[in-house]
Amino acid sequence: MTLTTPNPSSMPAAASPEQMGEPDAQGFFGEFGGRYVGEPLIGACMEVEDAFVDAWADPEFHAEFLHTLNTYGGRPSPTTECGNLSEQLGLRLLLKREDLNHTGSHKINNVLGQALLAKRMGKTRLIAETGAGQHGVATATAAALLGMSCTVYMGEVDMQRQALNVFRMRLLGTEVVPAMSGSRTLKDAVNEAMRAWVSEVGDTHYCLGSVMGPHPYPWMVRTFHEIIGIEAREQVMELTGGLPDVAVACVGGGSNAAGLFAGFADDPGVRLIGAEPAGGAAAGRGVPAIVHGMKAYFMQDEVGQILEAESISAGLDYPGLGPEHSHLAKTKRAEYYPVTDDEVLDAFQLLSRSEGIIPALESAHAIAWVTKNAADMQGQTVLVNLSGRGDKDVEQVQEILER
Amino acid sequence: MNTAATPTTVARSLEAYLTERSSGRRLLMPYVTAGVCPDWLELVDAVIDAGADAVEIGIPFSDPAMDGPTIQEATVVALETGMTPAHCLHRLKESQFGVPLIAMTHYNLVYRYGHERFARDLFEAGGWATILPDLPLEHASEWIDTAAAANLENVLLAAPVTSDERLRTVVDATGGFVYVVSTMGTTGARAGVDDAASVLASRVKALTNKPAVVGFGISNAETAVAAAAKSDGVIVASALMRRILDGSSIEEAAQLVADIRAGLDAAYTP
């Protein structure tokens, strides 16, 4: 196992890459994105956009963000060479270890960025939606750190699936509110959080957890996660002397994938792969919808009602794909493939046994895609973003395996 | 059935119609979710008889992020009956109601239906306008153009937080009337309509002659009369749907509309 440390000062200097650049003035990546929200939220979105643009151009904000990421979030995260599994699969497997971040996933990057931004905007309260609870825990953590109050909306079904994360959030001083509508999962938590934001916009920042929602969120969240790709690129270069052939990440809304892809989007030789849950494969079905403030690929029926995603991992249980990913899918710069729950369970156990790393069920989707397609990638360098650790999923997996 | 309006025989201009109807009195527009009860079309008829100037027809969408708990509940009930945009428009067309209908839904259903097809079918169903709360003016021009070509208008919302500069653009671009959002929250009946409604209605009236109608939070005659002080009328949605969801009969539910009509007429006479 080899650890490398990139030069942190390289982060703010990274220019927006050509492939994953800024959206247009209306918030579109190609034909996807926009700001499809009600009039009461338009001003709030504009306020966030102005604040973000202003902050991101301010070296002091950068310094504060980076300092917090490094001294509190645990960055830079290492890149790990997986010797055993590489040998077994006939390829060179590298893991970007976002599971080693504080709170156990990549989510902390975005949350610290948004919480610092909210503070800069004079907001005193954070609200967030969460699926698996990772983003909720991360938001609760940032709120505790910065002395802000916090409310997290979580589908009632997810609250049962991830009871431990619910307790974690409460321990951190956050109020957890069950989303009782619809499928009572992530998409309903998003609806609840947007409703709450409408009525509390004065003192409250909506800390959206993925590269989705109305402009500027998809762009801003990706930007806060670009550190993943920037670090990974340097680390892989250092480890292997070149770029990876393939960069793989799991995709629900797509935040960890967006962060990883941003580091390689302008390297045409690097295949970008998003592993979607088979029960939530928005890209695969390829029909744009306008929901949750954006135009993006969504699973929907023939008249346009949004379908409920079904996945073993609550964090990927989302029927849509962020607008920038939708654009990357449409332009074929990135490829998105479904993996089944069974394949994910196999990968979960395989990585645990082979490398001593228990991945989050979400991240196990990316591993599953690699094992499934290893025959086509013999001898290649494959970089996987290990977006989160699996502690939260161990109990659920135990129940399934011992059933 | 209300015979004051003969919309099918005149060129459809919701703005002209509402302007005329609001002269010396106040407008009342109830909202009915299509499919909220098996006899929802009778409910539409009943609220017209109770004094509606126009009726908003909610076409249920799976993810009503802009709606409060009551309309969400109505939406779930309606979707469970299998209500679709096409079915809704078909039933409205069969019914040929005597006042203008305004389709209120989330934009995705219009997008998927196809702009031109939706505009044509809505017009044939007796529709005069659309309200698409999640289609802000930045993204609305394509739909507004298509709707206009089909003789339909598109109503835009104004919120208390809408800046003066933006409000000017909203009142210029809206069709039919200006939908004044009375509170910062999502749809839902409230005990009192906050002052924000009056302030916003006054701001709108200072900028345009188009009717300004207050929605969100109208629960009874008292709140309606208060909301109509500085505006041209009110929309009653959640309070009406609440009655139906709680098991009220069509007559009992329509009585709410009749009470509000009486309250408005008593308070605002020429």
CA distance A105 to A284: 26
**Strands across the sheet with A92-97, in order?**
A79-81, A92-97, A381-386, A246-250, A271-277, A334-339
DSSP label at residue B216? S
CA distance, residue B5 to nearest chain A CA (Å)? 31
Instruction: State which residues of chain B have pLDDT below 50.
Output: 1-10, 186-192
Please report the pLDDT score of residue B169 as a whole number.
Answer: 97
Residues of A carrying an active site annotation = 82, 106
DSSP label at residue B123? H
Q: Is A39 helix (H, G, I), strand (E, B) or coil?
A: helix
CA distance A93 to A80: 9
In chain B, the domains with their CATH numbers are: 26-264 (3.20.20.70)
Residues of A in contact with B80 (CB under 8 A): none
Name the residue among B108, B133, B157 with its Cβ closest to that of A304. B108
Q: What is the pTM of this model?
A: 0.92
CA distance, residue B71 to nearest chain A CA (Å)? 12
Could you tell me the CA-to-CA distances from B66 to A109, A172, A197, B60 in Å, in that order? 29, 30, 11, 12
Residues of B in contact with A304 (CB under 8 A): 61, 85, 108-109, 111-113
In chain A, the domains with their CATH numbers are: 36-71+107-217 (3.40.50.1100), 76-104+226-401 (3.40.50.1100)
Residues of A in contact with B166 (CB under 8 A): 42-43
Q: Are residues B136 and A292, on separate chains, in Cβ contact within 8 Å?
A: no
Please report the pLDDT score of residue A202 as a whole number.
Answer: 85
**Residue A396 CB-half CA count within 13 A:** 22
- For B212-235, write each residue's pLDDT tens digit: 999 988 999 999 999 999 999 999
Please report the pLDDT score of residue B197 as a whole number.
Answer: 86
CB atoms within 10 A of CB B184: 20
The residue among B59, B63, B71 with the most chain A CBs within 10 A of its CB, best to mutate, is: B63
Please report the pLDDT score of residue A42 as a whole number.
Answer: 93
Q: Are residues A187 and B84, on separate chains, in Cβ contact within 8 Å?
A: no
Residues of B in contact with A37 (CB under 8 A): 134, 136
Please report the pLDDT score of residue A12 as a whole number.
Answer: 41
**Tens-binned pLDDT, residue by residue, of chain A (403 aa):** 333 444 444 344 444 447 899 999 999 999 999 999 999 899 999 999 999 999 999 999 999 999 999 999 999 999 999 999 999 999 999 999 999 999 999 999 999 999 999 999 999 999 999 987 889 999 999 999 999 999 999 999 889 888 889 999 999 999 999 998 777 888 889 888 988 898 888 899 999 999 999 999 999 999 999 999 999 999 999 999 999 999 999 999 999 999 999 999 999 999 999 999 998 777 767 789 999 999 999 999 999 999 888 888 878 888 899 999 999 999 999 999 999 999 999 999 999 999 999 999 999 999 999 999 999 999 999 999 999 999 989 989 999 999 8
- For B235-266, write each residue's pLDDT tens digit: 999 999 999 999 999 999 999 999 999 999 99
